[in-house]
Amino acid sequence: MSNRVVVDPITRIEGHLRVEVEVDENNVITDAWSSSTLWRGIEVILKGRSPLDAGLITQRICGVCTFSHYRCATEAVENALGVEIPLNAKLVRSLMQTSLYMHDHMVHFYHLHALDWVDIVSALSADPAKAAQVALQYTDKPINAGEGELRAVQERVQGFVETGKLGPFANAYWGAGTYKLTPEQNLIAVSHYLKALEVQRVAAEMMAIFGAKQPHPQSLVVGGVSCVRDVLSPARLQEWKTKFHQVHDFIQRAYLPDVLMAAEAYKTEPSVLGGLGVKNFLATPDFFMGDGWLFEGGVITNGDLANVQEVDPSLIEEDVTHAWYQDGPSRHPYDGVTEPNYTGFIERDTVYGRLPTLDNDNKYSWVKSPRYNGQPMEVGPLACLLVNYAKGTPAVVNAVNGLLEATGLPVEALFTTLGRTAARLLQTNIICDNALRTFDALLTNIQSDESTYVEPIIDPDKEYVGHAMNEVPRGLLSHWIRIKGGKIENYQAVVPTTWNSGPRDANNVKGPYEASLIGLKVEDPTKPLEIIRIIHSFDPCMACAVHVMDYKGQELSEYKVA
């Protein structure tokens, strides 16, 4: 009897992710493999093009964090050319980043992650009057959680069920034993799920104010931003501020209390208070506020919060031993190589019968394996918060201590699924708390300084190298460029989900996704809710992780959706 469990695709993420695990006779996971099964090709496409276009091309890596790649590429080119951009441009980029985080983290919690915590079907048996009282336990100003609103939500969901068209709620593991919220708590969360669909639109509009559109904003250029007087007019800026308050209000009155509610209900669930990854964390300074960074950067190894090291960019390398690329040594991204070498799947017995499965002793993913000083690193909101907690950044220390106090959880609870999910909320909150400082800095500066752009100069007879390291919603993003003859000679992106989802390296050391699953008990291997819950806590984006495409249009593998 085989004990191989296959989860493919993991839905409610961007891109294609497959996870395979081995379970023992008690359904405890003894081994795990993470694979992206989709190939793209952006790093290859960039070669020979103008460095001024790198931002517009790399933002096509992904439909989620389009701004993140746009900004990182633009700043890598600025770094290579030695361009110092005007203060207004720095502040506008920071406000776009703020808007993106507010959008992205809220959408992740409600639309990508919540159904791992919230049993929609259970909400149907809730008492709306009682639920309205329950909502008051987590905030004194609940939103969309009055008795009438909750009753309307319940009727709406009942309507889905009666017509047999569950729509976005179809094909989940409703009723699974590791759902822990009461019917009333489930109803509150469903109400916020639906409301968040409206609020996320407002957050997207915040980005469009400075970006001209969203997704794929258009206003960044090498040398600054193309936002000029009309965009930076008092009326436009006020519009951003109004929308900021609208989204912030929802974050305070729904997102924050819902995370507290989930933390309380799931305190003893192993897939929530487990999910420990590699215990190494990497983050970079970011969120410019006019007079410094909101968040510091650093490296934590083996969970040691007492010894945070500074990040040394020269210690980043990518390993391809178990990735579908031509073999070669681990390489620094300035010298990175992206040559596909797809070796396919192998047949093996699984709990569902004989199937093509990952050839895990050999190559099994399109994701490379980034390493820092030879070690796998978790990146993301948790890494950012832990580095800043350990370094004593006041806003982060207060936020983390506040959460531990409110939930009664020990500091070790941070290194878990819950820690990742709560860190994303706390990071959103801290960003919101400081957003108007950045906004006011822009308002003040444009009184006396209209400059938003300096013209970059590329000398075709010179060679340039440069990189940028930014925090983006899923963690540390870095872009690395070599310019020769006025064109891009080599380009590499080392992306948050690449760090987190990468396969084993040459030393057979697992990446964060793989490590986080070991030792987890799966209640029912045919309904692997716990695996999805842990993996979703990292907020996967496989489009970002792979960012390479089959430019010859070849069919690499065939998938049938049952």
b/e sequence 127-160, b meaning 16+ C-beta within 10 Å = bbeebbebbeebbeebbbbbeebbbebbeebeeb
Among 4, 10, 13, 14, binds ligand NFE (CB under 6 A): 14
183-211 and 87-107 are packed helices; what angle lies between their axes, rounded to 10 degrees? Answer: 160
Measured CA to CA, the distance from residue 173 to residue 80 in angstroms comes to 50
Instruction: Quote the DSSP letter at residue 252.
Output: I
Among 263, 477, 534, 546, binds ligand NFE (CB under 6 A): 477
Q: Which is nearer to ligand NFE, 183 or 475 (CB)?
A: 475
Q: Which is nearer to Mg ion, 23 or 468 (CB)?
A: 468
Q: Count of CB atoms within 10 A of residue 298's CB?
A: 22
Residue 493 as a binder of Mg ion (CB under 5 A): the answer is yes
Task: State the binding partner of 65 from ligand NFE, Mg ion, none, CB within 5 to 8 A by kind.
Answer: ligand NFE
Residues 6+ away with beta carbon under 8 Å from 337? 325, 326, 328, 331
Residue 92 as a binder of Mg ion (CB under 5 A): the answer is no
With contacts defined by CB under 6 A, name the span among 126-134, 135-143, 491-499, 524-532 that binds ligand NFE.
Answer: 491-499
Residue 390 as a binder of ligand NFE (CB under 6 A): the answer is no
Phi, psi of 62 (to 5 degrees): -155, 150
Residue 472 as a binder of ligand NFE (CB under 6 A): the answer is yes
Q: Which is nearer to Mg ion, 256 or 493 (CB)?
A: 493
Measured CA to CA, the distance from residue 309 to residue 6 in angstroms comes to 38
Q: How many residues bind ligand NFE (CB under 6 A)?
A: 17
User: Which tokens go with 181?
Assistant: 């919220």
Residue 19 as a binder of ligand NFE (CB under 6 A): the answer is no
Please, are residues 482 and 336 in contact by the beta-carbon 8 Å criterion? no
With contacts defined by CB under 5 A, name the span among 144-152, 245-253, 429-437, 487-495 that binds Mg ion.
Answer: 487-495
Does 72 count as an annotated binding residue? no
Among 13, 32, 38, 64, binds ligand NFE (CB under 6 A): 64
Residue 543 as a binder of ligand NFE (CB under 6 A): the answer is yes
Measured CA to CA, the distance from residue 522 to residue 528 in angstroms comes to 6
Residue 495 as a binder of ligand NFE (CB under 6 A): the answer is yes
User: Which tokens go with 266?
Assistant: 């799931």
3-state secondary structure of 503: coil
Q: Which is nearer to ligand NFE, 472 or 515 (CB)?
A: 472
Q: Which is nearer to ligand NFE, 232 or 495 (CB)?
A: 495
Shortest gap between Cβ of 390 and ligand NFE (angstroms)? Answer: 23
User: Which tokens go with 36?
Assistant: 């992206």
Chain centre to alpha carbon of residue 195: 21
User: Which tokens go with 498?
Assistant: 């690449």
Residue of this chain nearest to Mg ion (CB atom): 493
Q: Which is nearer to ligand NFE, 62 or 311 (CB)?
A: 62
Shortest gap between Cβ of 547 and Mg ion (angstroms)? Answer: 6
Shortest gap between Cβ of 372 and ligand NFE (angstroms)? Answer: 16
Measured CA to CA, the distance from residue 43 to residue 418 in angstroms comes to 34
Shortest gap between Cβ of 294 and ligand NFE (angstroms)? Answer: 17
Does 547 count as an annotated binding residue? yes
Report the amino acid identity of residue 553.
G
Verify cis geometry, omega within 30 degrees of 0, for the bond prior to 9.
Answer: yes
Residue in the block written with tokens 């089959």: 550
Q: Which is nearer to Mg ion, 251 or 545 (CB)?
A: 545
Chain centre to alpha carbon of residue 160: 30
Task: State the binding partner of 106 from Mg ion, ligand NFE, none, CB within 5 to 8 A by kind.
Answer: none
Q: Which is nearer to ligand NFE, 126 or 541 (CB)?
A: 541
Task: State the binding partner of 502 from Mg ion, ligand NFE, none, CB within 5 to 8 A by kind.
Answer: none
Does 43 count as an annotated binding residue? yes
Q: Which is nearer to ligand NFE, 269 or 378 (CB)?
A: 378
Helix H or strand E segment including 391: helix 381-391
Among 294, 544, 548, 549, binds ligand NFE (CB under 6 A): 544
Residue 541 as a binder of ligand NFE (CB under 6 A): the answer is yes
Instruction: Quote the DSSP letter at residue 40.
Output: E
- C-alpha distances in angstroms, 301 versus 30, 304, 504? 24, 6, 18
Distance between the two ends of the chain, CA-based, in angstroms? Answer: 23
Q: Residue ranges for the binding site?
A: 43, 62, 65, 541, 544, 547
Binding site for ligand NFE (CB under 6 A): 14, 62, 64-65, 68-69, 472-474, 477, 495-497, 541, 543-545
* Binding positions for Mg(2+): 43, 62, 547
**Residues contributing to the site for Mg ion (CB under 5 A):** 493
